[in-house]
Structure 1
Amino acid sequence: MGGNAFTSGPTPLTTPECPPRLYYSLRDHYLSLLFPLYEEVATPVEAPSKTSYGDIDVLVSQPKSLSTETLAKALSAVRTCTTSGSPTSSFALPYPGRADAYVQLDIHLCPPGTFRWQLFHESHGDLWNLLGTTIRPFGITANDAGLHLRIPEIEELNRKRGMLFLTREPDEVLDFLGLNADVYGRPFESVEAMYEFVVGCRFFRGDSYVRDGLKANDRKRMAQRDLYRRFVDEWLTANVATVKTRGERVPGFYEGGCAGGCVGEVGGKRGV
């Protein structure tokens, strides 16, 4: 929820962002409290180069006879926020050294058998937003349930039934995409390193990011996700040579910039 679960309503709470040192200290503390309560507990690998954190996200599975009320007590939460049907519960916890501020902890309960995949898919922040744009032209989609092949003829009638499940094994997916599992398993040293990882995907084509091919969800990401926007607006054009060394000339990108123009006006806003 991006740290905003408790900032509205009749009695809003202040939930300031945490600097990295405090974030990691609190993250490890809350993980230690949750380990005895679930069979599986972990946080996704953090996005690169973050200078602050709006909340702490934890994935869990297989609770040991636990209710939201007992969990709130175990965490010393001052307030909880749950939505009917949602697998995520938010908890407002005391912010160290500030009596009037709180830390938002989001706990996401994974369905049986999906914990390892969801941890993989949620890692590195906006990475899968970029990879999703890369693989979409080939009829491939990744969501919180796994990797799927889209069948257009069925999709026209029923979008959900039009997705053919392939796998939810992370190593199989990375091998299929031509990406290094060892690199994926560690935090990226920089945003630049994450961008280079994306370009290393065997399905990467520059023209997937040209304005005419941009989907509505991608235009939304351009407006809301800074790492996604910077990749499209700035990094690709500035790193044409790097992109070309990935083994195949990338359609749509040339020495003079993006063929047809990478950036244009979309609905009155900057986009591709």
Structure 2
Amino acid sequence: MGGNAFHFLDEDAFPRLPPAVYQRLKSRLFSVIQTLYSHVTVPIEAPEKNEYGDLDFLVFSPKPEAFSSTAERSINVPHEVVKEAIGAHHFIPADGNRTSNFAVPISRGEWSTLGFEREELEVRKKVKDDGEIYYQVDVHVCADKKEWDRIYFYNSYGDLGMIMGLIASNAGLQLGSKGLHYSYPPHPRLLLSDDFDKITRFFGWSMETRNAGFKTRKEIFEWVMTSRFFDPARFRTQGDGIRKVKAQRTMYSDFVECANNLQRASPSPTSERRESTGTTTSARDEALEYFGKKQEVETQICEYGARKRMKDVFNGNTVRSWMLASNWKDVKDTMDSVRARYGGDEGVMKLLEAEGEEVLQKRVLEAFEKLKMEDSTPISISNDTFAFRSEPITISEVVLQ
């Protein structure tokens, strides 16, 4: 999950790991990490994988004994403690529920007991200077058990989570390790669900089949394609809502090629088939219904439209044209007066929705006239007679009584 994190070391210092080497490393470090965290796991590896880049641990709930004092306890064990425990020479720390990277040295001759002495020597020859090579070990600290379960699900079986995300994108939704989201700009993305059991049921994927395990990539691809939202004739791998994926994601690339081959072999959908297989719009609507978010979205869209209409109508330029005023201060004061009377912008918005633009204009002009009356200044022109004027007066105009 951390990629090639140690850019300050030789790029050849982190060799690809044969499966036997990877499994021994995982077995050796798993028990060590368990002395530091109460919950430790490694995502299920992709089937048919002939080499590995790094080793990923998912953890949460640090053990009290991993801290030297109560005062320093936090969501993650101190990085120096983890470094020493697993024997790392270098690390890139990340506090909180994030991924920290550790470079664990590979002892000379370590691979020879597994029959990979020649491969180890060849790797060391590529590295400049001392020929030191490392395992990259990534430790992702989760905030709680729920997040731990989600990330484990999404990152198991290699690129499967990303492939599922591609199917979701084709349906106009977004699927990631945090769950299923619904985008409808300019509003923030809406979380439909972070429960992968519910999410897989919605897409039509059998959790029973998934939990039984996959032995080949072909089995994974066939499982993904059981989704009721997978349609080869409509399948796309780029465009709105689909992010680019690095070329080294070979499992993802193989699925795309497989889906594209099916697409080329599939006839163009007839109008009747288009209706039966559904559209992106209908899939999005169905998702709102399924996850109980339809009313929330409709309310937000309605409120946004009403607010936009209010801003289009109740703004300085429009109000100024109603008042036939040249003084921007009068415009501001009048608008503030209307807001104060009707309960702010929300109240003005409701007035506009209920009564219409003509009534709002009338209320603006009434407020303007009232302010003019309140701002009028008495000026003495005789002992018992006064005139009123709305313009500011000067000291010389004031008659002392």
Give TM-score, length-normalised by structure 1.
Answer: 0.75
Q: What amino acid is the match of 1:31?
A: F
2: CA distance, partners of 1:186 / 1:3: 29
Offset, 1:218 = 4.4
Q: Sort the Cα spacing of 1:19 and 1:258 in 2 relative to 1 into closer, same or farther, 3 A.
A: farther
User: Of residues 99, 102, 105 in structure 1, which corresponds to 2:134?
Assistant: 102
Counterparts of 1:33 and 1:225, CA distance in 2: 30
1:80/1:217 Cα in 2 relative to 1: closer, same or farther (>3 Å)? farther
2: distance between equivalents of 1:2 and 1:183?
29
1:215 match: 239
Report the alpha carbon displacement of residue 94 of structure 1 after superposing the two structures with TM.
2.4
Q: Which has the higher contact order (CA 8 A, sep 6+)?
A: 1
Which sits farther off after the overlay, 214-223 or 192-201?
214-223
Give SS of 2:13's match.
Answer: coil
Aligned length: 236
Identity score, percent:
30
Q: Does 1:229 align with 2:257?
A: no
Q: Which amino acid aligns with 2:179?
A: G
Counterpart pick for 1:144 among 177, 189, 196: 177
- The CA distance in 2 between the partners of 1:115 and 1:230, in whole Å, is 28
Structure 2 counterpart SS, 1:115: helix
1:48 counterpart = 2:47: yes
Question: Take 1:32 and 1:10, find their aligned partners in 2: how far apart are those partners?
Answer: 28
In structure 2, C-alpha distance between the alignment counterparts of 1:11 and 1:177, rounded to whole Å: 44
**Partner of 1:170 in structure 2?**
196
Residue 5 of structure 2 is matched in structure 1 by: 5
Distance 2:269 2:104 in 1: 48
Measure, in 2, the Cα distance between the counterparts of 1:229 and 1:258: 25
Where in structure 2 are the equivalents of 1:1-272 lying within 5 Å?
4-6=4-6, 8-9=7-8, 14-64=13-63, 65=73, 66-83=77-94, 87-96=98-107, 97=109, 100-112=132-144, 113-150=146-183, 152=184, 156-158=185-187, 161-163=188-190, 165-210=191-236, 214-215=238-239, 218=242, 220-221=244-245, 223-233=247-257, 235-238=258-261, 240=262, 254-255=265-266
Q: Relative to structure 1, is the Cα distance of residues 86 and 58 closer, same or farther in structure 2, using a 3 angstrom cutoff?
A: same
Q: Any unmatched runs of 5+ in structure 2?
A: 64-72, 111-130, 271-401
How many angstroms does 1:230 deviate by? Answer: 2.3
| Contact 1:237–1:257 (CA under 8 A) maintained in structure 2 | no
CA distance in 2, matches of 1:237, 1:86: 37
CA distance in 2, matches of 1:14, 1:222: 21
Greater percentage in strand = 1
1:72 & 1:13 partners in 2: Cα distance?
22
Residues 8-30 of structure 1, C-alpha deviation per residue, up to 9 Å, x if partnerless?
32676711111111111211221
Corresponding letter in the other structure for 2:186: L
Does the Cα contact within 8 Å between 2:167 and 2:230 map onto a contact in 1?
yes
Distance in 2, Cα, partners of 1:125 & 1:253: 26
- Correspondence for 1:263: none
Please list the CA deviations of residues 1-49 of structure 1 after superposition, one character each: whole Å capped at 9, or x if unmatched. Answer: 565222x326767111111111112112211111121121111111121
Q: How far did 1:110 drift?
A: 1.2
Read off the aligned partner of 2:175 and give its amino acid letter: A
Alpha-carbon deviation of 1:174? 2.1
Deviation of 1:141 after TM superposition, in Å, equals: 2.0
Taking the aligned partners of 2:33 and 2:267, their CA distance within structure 1 comes to 53
Question: Cα 1:81–1:186, aligned 2, differ >3 Å: closer, same or farther?
Answer: farther
Cα 1:50/1:147, change in 2 over 3 Å = same
1:90 deviation in Å? 0.7
Structure 1 residues 212-246: Cα deviation after superposition (integer angstroms, max 9, x where no partner)? xx22774722745222222223x2354x4xxxxxx
The one-letter code matched in structure 1 to 2:4 is N
Q: Counterpart of 2:43 in 1: which secondary structure?
A: coil
- CA–CA distance in 2 between the matches of 1:196 and 1:94? 40
**In structure 1, what is the Cα distance between the partners aligned to 2:99 and 2:269?**
41
The RMSD of aligned alpha carbons is 2.9
Which structure has the highest helix share of the two?
2
Deviation for aligned residue 1:167:
2.7
> 1:133 Cα shift?
1.8
- CA spacing shift, 1:131–1:258, aligned 2, 3 Å: farther
